Structure 1
Amino acid sequence: MLHTVRVKDFMVTDFVTLRPEDDMYHAVQVLVHKEVPAAVVLDKRDKLVGVLSETDCVRVVLDASYNERPPGKVEEYMTTEMDTVDVDATLLDTAALFKEKTYRLYPVVDHGRLVGIVTRRRCLKATENFFERFNNEQPG
């Protein structure tokens, strides 16, 4: 069953975005107030150019504190070497990616175009019916 569930069936299409030129103070506030583990970074043509994670934001706090200077722009801290997930990848393929790396979010692409994101939590949520089936089969 899990090998038939596709990322497009459980990805998030209403996701948080930032721009490379955004101030890091603004970016941190966005992640905190939206309660998301990361945001995708898009250029002026809405092309995916990076991901800014909570871990990146912690680096900002440490860097600003140690160097006693204000934080810079998103482009200075975002991760640009990122993996993406194809919209037709299976739930099992996606779960394997989350197991291999510490990422909490993957951008989802369809023919190279950003169409959504998938988080570890969404991936786990997609397994609810799977586990309910096994739980209901237990005797007694």
Structure 2
Amino acid sequence: MGIKSFQGARKQQNTITEAVALKVKDYMSTKLVTFTPDQSVQEVVECLIRHKISGGPVVNSNNELVGIISEGDCLKQLSESRYYNMPLEHDNVEKRMARNVEIIDGNLDIFDAANKFLQSKRRRFPIVENGKLIGLISQKDILKAALQLKGENWNSATKGGS
């Protein structure tokens, strides 16, 4: 006669490895500095410096995304204005902005968003919903989300105690 052992079903324990859904929309900036196509490049430069940002979305009067303007776009204009002897205020955003803007889905997981940043070498992605600009996610926002995830994991691990 052998010894038989029986264990009943155990309730599944919550573990640290449980997937925590961190979505882009939970970490995107919604208070945005935006620009309009008719603004002067000089205004953009002043705004970038004042707000300590490196660029921003360009929207029309319906808050629809039409482009992105960056420090690099402004530097290019500055360089050309010197060459052609044209002051900054004579050029506008519409002439300098990037029009083929890559957007990112607000429901995208932050890890997939991090991969998208790495593949595209972009610093920021706009989030559009129903044709309207609703937010902007930057590399720094993704890093903040990752730190929060690490903090949540650390807290979960230490609450169980040993």
TM-score, normalized by length of structure 2?
A: 0.77
In structure 2, the partner of 1:56 is 73
* One-letter amino acid of the structure 2 residue matched with residue 121 of structure 1: K
Counterparts of 2:19 and 2:113, CA distance in 1: 11
**Residue 96 of structure 1 corresponds to which residue in structure 2?**
115
**1:45 maps onto 2:62 in alignment:** yes
- Residue 108 (str. 1) matches residue 124 (str. 2): no
Q: Which residue is 2:104 aligned to?
A: 85
| C-alpha separation in 2, matches of 1:74 and 1:8 | 27
Cα deviations by residue, 1:111-139 (Å, 9 ceiling, x for unpaired) = 432110001111111100334447xx8xx
| Corresponding residue SS for 1:86 | coil
Within the candidate set 137, 144, 152, 1:125 is matched to 144
Give the deviation of 1:18 after TM superposition: 0.6
Query: Any gaps of 5 or more consecutive residues in structure 2?
Result: 1-17, 158-162
Per-residue displacement from partner, 1:43-98 (whole Å, max 9, x unpaired)? 12221100101111111111112221123000011011010011111101211111
Q: Say if 1:41 and 1:49, in contact at 8 Å, map to a contact too.
A: yes
Pairing 1:4–2:21 present: yes
1:73 aligned residue (92, 101, 107): 92
Distance in 2 separating the partners of 1:110 and 1:2: 26
Taking the aligned partners of 2:101 and 2:62, their CA distance within structure 1 comes to 19
Q: Is the 8 A contact 1:2 1:90 kept in 2?
A: no
Give the whole-Å Cα distance in 2 for the aligned partners of 1:70 and 1:32.
Answer: 18
Give, as a single letter, the amino acid of the residue that structure 1 aligns with 2:149.
F
Task: Quote the Cα distance in structure 1 between the aligned partners of 2:22 and 2:64.
Answer: 27
Q: How many residues align?
A: 136
Q: By percentage of residues, which structure has more strand? A: 1
Structure 1 contact 2–91 (Cα < 8 Å) conserved: no
- Point out the structure with max Rg over C-alpha: 2
List per-residue Cα deviations over 1:25-46 (Å, max 9, x = no partner): 0011101111112111111222
User: CA RMSD for the aligned pairs?
Assistant: 1.9
- Pair 1:28-2:45 in alignment: yes
Q: Could you tell me the percent identity over the aligned residues?
A: 27
Alignment gaps of 5+ in structure 1 = none
